[in-house]
Structure 1
Amino acid sequence: MKIKGLFRRKRHGKESETWWMRFSANGKQHKVSTGTSDRRLAEKVLNKVKTQVAEGKWLDVNIAKQHNFDELMERYLDEHSKINKAVSTHEKDLYMKEHLKTFFEGKTLDQIDSDAILLYKNKRLREGAAQNTVLNELGMLRNALNIARHVWKWIKENPFSGLTLNLQANDVDRWLTKEEEEKLLEAAQGKLNGQLPDIILLDLHTGLSQEEILKLKWSQIDLSRKTLTTVRKKTKKKSRPARTIPLNATVVECLKRLAKVQSILGYVFFNEDGSPIGANRLKKAFKSAVKTAKIAYCRFHDLRHSFATRLVQKGVDLYKVSTLLGHSSIEVTQRYAHHWSESLRDGVDILDYQETKVLEKTEKKRKRKTKSA
C-alpha cells in the first residue's frame, strides 16, 4: 500500500478548500475527501487511514464520502442551474447557496442526512428566516442531491426521501391596486437612470417575466403591428414556440418615446455601457422604490401577478391569460381563478334589477286592490 498524501482538487482552474487524500489499497487507486479544510485535521484523517490499511482494517469507502457539499453546489450551479434556469433564478440559487454553505460547508455527502437537514432548518428559523425562504433553500439542496443520485451516481439515496419538513410555502399572490401603482411609479422616478418607471409600466401591461424585461431588444418589437415577440428561457428548453404579445396604447406610447434613445447593443433597457441591466441591480432599485412609496411589501415578480389579476378581474378568460403569460398549461393559471367571480358579478346583479321590477309591479297591484276594497 502506498500513501500519496494530501491534495486539493482543482475545478475550472480553482482549488477546492477541502483537503483530499490519494492512496492505493487492495490493488485500487482511491481519492477520498477528508471532509475538512484544516490541514492538520486532514493529516490526522490521513494517518488514521494509513493505520487502517496497514492493519488490514480499511475497507472501500462509500462513494458518498468521496464527494462533499462544496463539490455538489459547484457542479449543480455550473452544470444545471446556470444552463437550465433563468438568469434571475440562477442568481437566486447563488444567493441561497451562501446560506446553505454556513452549515454544510466541508461536509461529505454521507454526512448530509435527514438529521443534518432538520438541524439546518431549525437554525435558519431561529435566525428569523421565513418558512418559505427555508423551504426554497432546502428545495435547491434537494434538487442538487437528486441529480447527484440519478445522474452523477454520487449517492444511493436522497436524504430528503420520506422527510417531512413542516414548512409552509407562501402561496399568497400580491397585486397592486391603482393607488399603489401611482405611488410606486412616482417613487421610481430617477432610478436606474430614469428607466425604472418605464420598466414597471411595461411589465404591468405585458406581464413579462423579469428575465424577459431585462433581455428585451428592439428587434423583438414591431410597433407598426403593435406586437412584441418573446420566449422565456425556462419554456424554450421545452420546445414551446415563442409567444407574440399584443401591445396596448399605453405600451406603444411608452416604447415610441424610448425608441428615441437606443443602446448600441439593441437592448430596450440598458446600463451606461449599453449592456442589459442586471437582475440584482433591478431588484435593489425596485425594493428602494417600494420603500419610498410606503406601500405593502411587493416583489418585482408581483407586477406580473398584477397583470394577470387585473385581466381576470376584467373578465378575460383564463385561456387568454395563460397564453399571454406563457404558462406551460392552463392549470398553472388556475391560481388566478378566484378573481374571476368578481368579474361575473354584473351577470348576477342583473337579477336584482329584474327582481326589483317584479316586486314593484306586485306592490302596485296590491295597492290598487287595497284602494278598490
Structure 2
Amino acid sequence: MGLVKRGNVWWMSFTYEGRQIRRSTETSDKRLAEAILGKVKVEIVEGKYFDKPREEAKTFLQLMERYLREHASRRMHYRRYVNMVDNLKAFFGNPKLHHVTPKTIVAFKNKRYVDGVMPATINRELAVLKKAFNLACREWEWTRDNPVCRVSMEREQNTRDRWLTEAEEGRLLKTALPWLRELILFAAHTGMRRGEILALNWNGVDFVRRTVTVFRSKNGERRTIPINQTVQDILTKRYETRGDASQTGESLVFGSEAQTCLDGSNLRRAFIAALKAAKIENLHFHDLRHTFATRLVQAGVDLYKVQRLLGHKSPSMTQRYAHHFPESLRDGVEILDRQRLISTISAQPAGGAMVDCVNG
C-alpha cells in the first residue's frame, strides 16, 4: 500500500482480492490522504472494504461524449471520430457501462459485417471504443474494467495494390479541374496522405531546402519530405497566385478562397467525376500514395528510403511493394554463381587453368 501524487492530488495504490486498486483520495493534503489510506487499511483488515464498481453510475452516452470532448477534439480528422462514435451509439444505445460486455461488443462486430463494413473499419471503431474505456478506467475512474480488451480484433485484408498507370494519369489530368489536377500531381509525387496535404500550410514549405513538413502525421509525428521539380513548380505557382500577398505562415497551401480547409467530401466528389470522365475504375485518392511508392520501387529505390518517405513506422508496411521490383533481389541469387566459380577455380590443380587455355 502506498500513496502516489498525480498533479496536486494524492492517489492510493493497494492490492485487494488479488487485484491492483488505484483510487484518488481527492485531496492535495498529504496528511489527510494518509488518514484516508489508513482507514482503508483498517476496513480491509476487518473485512468491511468493498470495491464498489463506479460504472453503475455512468452511461455509454456519457462515455462517448466525454471521449469526443476531451480526446478526439484534439486529434486530426475529428469529423471521422464523430462518425465512428455515431455508429457505436446507434448500436449500443445508452446502457450503464457495466452492461457493455464482450458479448455485446461481438454482437456489434457481427452487425457491422451485416451492414457490409470492411474489417479495417470495424477495427477502427473498436479502437475508439477501447480508447474510451481505457480513459474511463485509468483517468476518469468511471469503471474498473475494459471489456474491449477481451475481444479480438478483425483480420484486415490489406491486399489492395492499385496504382495509377502513366496512361491513366494522362487521361485523369485532362479531365480533372485545375485545382484537383494540382492535388493529384502533388499526392503522386510526395506520397502524402490526403489529410496531410489539405492541412499543409506555408510554414511547412521550405523553398530553399526544397522540402515540405508535415507537423502532425497520422502517427502523431513530424515528418519532413524532400520535393522534386514537379512539386516545386506547383508550390511556386500557388505561392505567387495565393491572392493576398500578406498571406503567409499559417495560411493553407491548398485552402479554399476563404482560406478554409477544403472539404473532404467535395474533393471526393470532384475526384470521382474526373475518374468517370477519364474512364478509370477502382481508384481511390489514397491510391495516389500507393502510386508514389510503387513507382519508386519499380525504379529501383531502396525499400528503406521508401519507408522513410511514406512515414511508415514499421518496414512490414512498406514490404508490400517489394514484389514490384524483383530485379532488386537479383544480386542476392547471383552471389551463388560467383561462389560456384570461386570454388571451381580453387579446386583446379596448380597450373591447370593455364594448361587448359593453351590446349584450347
TM range, normalised to the smaller chain?
Answer: 0.5 to 0.7
In structure 2, the partner of 1:168 is 155
2:231 equivalent to 1:251: yes
Pairwise CA distance, 1:202: 0.5
Residues 60 and 94, structure 2, Cα contact 8 Å, conserved in 1:
yes
- Deviations 1:341-366, CA, capped at 9 Å, x for gaps: 255569989x9xxxxxxxxxxxxxxx
Cα distance, 1:304–1:62 mapped onto 2, change above 3 Å: same
Alignment length (residue pairs): 281
Pairwise CA distance, 1:309: 1.9
In structure 2, the partner of 1:115 is 103
Instruction: Determine the C-alpha separation between the residues in 1 that align with 2:94 and 2:243.
Output: 45
Cα distance, 1:158–1:187 mapped onto 2, change above 3 Å: farther
Instruction: Determine the C-alpha separation between the residues in 2 that align with 1:141 and 1:214.
Output: 27
Instruction: Determine the C-alpha separation between the residues in 2 that align with 1:184 and 1:109.
Output: 50
Residues 314 and 343, structure 1, Cα contact 8 Å, conserved in 2:
no
Cα distance, 1:99–1:293 mapped onto 2, change above 3 Å: farther
Instruction: Determine the C-alpha separation between the residues in 1 that align with 2:86 and 2:277.
Output: 29
Pairwise CA distance, 1:262: 0.5
Q: Structure 1 stretch 167-176 or stretch 326-335: which is displaced more?
A: 326-335
Identify which of 57, 68, 72 aligns with 1:66: 57
Pairwise CA distance, 1:221: 2.5
Identify which of 291, 308, 320 aligns with 1:306: 291
Q: In the alignment, residue 101 of structure 1 is paired with which amino acid?
A: K
Residues 267 and 276, structure 1, Cα contact 8 Å, conserved in 2:
yes
Cα distance, 1:93–1:291 mapped onto 2, change above 3 Å: farther
TM-score w.r.t. the length of structure 1 is 0.66
Cα distance, 1:95–1:175 mapped onto 2, change above 3 Å: same
2:179 equivalent to 1:195: yes
Residues 208 and 325, structure 1, Cα contact 8 Å, conserved in 2:
yes
Residues 204 and 215, structure 2, Cα contact 8 Å, conserved in 1:
no
Q: In the alignment, residue 114 of structure 1 is paired with which amino acid?
A: P
- Deviations 1:265-296, CA, capped at 9 Å, x for gaps: 43221212122323343334334434444433
Question: Aligned runs of 1:134-173 on 2, under 5 Å?
Answer: 134-164=122-152, 167-173=154-160
Instruction: Determine the C-alpha separation between the residues in 1 that align with 2:253 and 2:152.
Output: 45
In structure 2, the partner of 1:37 is none
Question: Aligned runs of 1:216-231 on 2, under 5 Å?
Answer: 216-231=200-215
Pairwise CA distance, 1:234: 4.3
Q: In the alignment, residue 255 of structure 2 is paired with which amino acid?
A: F
Q: Structure 1 stretch 91-100 or stretch 340-349: which is displaced more?
A: 340-349
In structure 2, the partner of 1:297 is 282
- Deviations 1:10-44, CA, capped at 9 Å, x for gaps: xxxxxxxxxxxxxxxxxxxxxxxxxxxxxxxxxxx
- Deviations 1:186-231, CA, capped at 9 Å, x for gaps: 3322xxxx31110110011011222321122334333354332333
Residues 313 and 342, structure 1, Cα contact 8 Å, conserved in 2:
no
Cα distance, 1:135–1:307 mapped onto 2, change above 3 Å: same
Q: Percentage identity across aligned positions?
A: 42
TM-score w.r.t. the length of structure 2 is 0.68
Residues 312 and 339, structure 1, Cα contact 8 Å, conserved in 2:
yes
Instruction: Determine the C-alpha separation between the residues in 1 that align with 2:268 and 2:101.
Output: 35
Pairwise CA distance, 1:316: 0.8
Residues 209 and 304, structure 1, Cα contact 8 Å, conserved in 2:
yes
Q: Matched residue of 1:259: which SS?
A: helix
Instruction: Determine the C-alpha separation between the residues in 2 that align with 1:197 and 1:332.
Output: 28
Instruction: Determine the C-alpha separation between the residues in 2 that align with 1:294 and 1:81.
Output: 38
Question: Aligned runs of 1:1-373 on 2, under 5 Å?
Answer: 62-83=53-74, 85-87=75-77, 90-164=78-152, 167-173=154-160, 174-189=162-177, 194-236=178-220, 242-264=222-244, 265=247, 266-344=251-329
Instruction: Determine the C-alpha separation between the residues in 1 that align with 2:107 and 2:224.
Output: 47
Instruction: Determine the C-alpha separation between the residues in 2 that align with 1:72 and 1:293.
Output: 46
Q: Matched residue of 1:170: which SS?
A: coil
Pairwise CA distance, 1:171: 0.7
Pairwise CA distance, 1:135: 2.9
User: Which runs of no fewer than 5 residues in structure 2 stay unpaired?
Assistant: 1-49, 337-360
User: Which runs of no fewer than 5 residues in structure 1 stay unpaired?
Assistant: 1-58, 352-373
